[in-house]
Structure formats: structure tokens, C-alpha cells
Amino acid sequence: MRNTALAITVLVTALGTAITAHAQGVTVGVAPSTGMVVTQPVEVAPDGGIAYEQRPAFREYVVTERVPSYTVSQRVVVGATLADEGVTFYDVPQRFGATPFRYTVVNGETVLIEPRTRRIMQVID
């Protein structure tokens, strides 16, 4: 009985490890002797936005991409909806985590937008 329980535990652990290996991450390189792809985990914010640790790198990315800033009369806050015309949305690179949102710059602030509703989901401060 004890051997059966041990065998089940080992099997569950092995399956869990295989599933964990497929978790989201950023490719860092390939281990020379094994050919295995080495990844670094990416934190994903619970709300689907950019994780806190990734925000400085994301802000730097947006600056280097020279994304134009759109000026609107309303305050830039979570929940506000942008106009239907005149604002371009950009894809968030995979290295910042999987997100259903797009980004743009409004009134000098980088924001994540839900593209269907044009609603601001996160202000990257």
C-alpha cells in the first residue's frame, strides 16, 4: 500500500513538473550541452495588465518606440473611455507578459486599453 501511494505521488509530481515547464516565460537562451531552451518566468498582473516589476522596463520600451502622445480633454484614469477616432493602439510585446490589452500614450501617460470598448484598464505610472 505504501509503495502504491509513493508511486502515485511520484507520478503526480512528474506530471506537475511537466505542466510547469510549459508556463509562461521569456526565452533567455539555450543551454549549450543539452540544447534545452532556458526561460525566465514573467509575472503577470492578476488583472491582465503589466506586472509591477515589469513597469519600468515597459515604460522604457514605450519611450524607445517613440509612440506619439495623444491629447484628450478628460482625465487619464482607469475606467475612462477614449474617443472612437484618432488614437492608435499598439500590441504589448510578449516579454512583458500575456495581456489581452493594447497600449498607447495619452496626455503623456502610458495606458493599457481594452481594444473593443476603448476603455483604459491600467495607467502605467
Q: Which domains does the chain have, with CATH numbers?
A: 1-41 (no CATH), 43-125 (3.10.450)
- H-helix or E-strand spanning residue 13: helix 2-21
Q: Angle at CA 54, nearest 5°, toward 119 and 43?
A: 90
Q: Can you say whether the dihedral through the CA atoms of 7, 8, 13, 19 is positive or negative?
A: positive
Quote the pLDDT of residue 107. 93
Does this model's pTM top 0.75? no
Kindly list the distances between the CA atom of residue 43 and the CA atoms of 24, 51, 75, 95, in Å, as whole numbers in the listed order: 9, 6, 29, 10
Instruction: For residue 43, give the C-alpha cell.
Output: 509575472
**Averaged in consecutive runs of 10 residues, what is the pLDDT profile of the chain (125 residues)?**
58 46 43 51 56 91 93 90 89 90 94 93 89
H/E stretch holding 63? helix 55-65
Cell of 4: 502504491
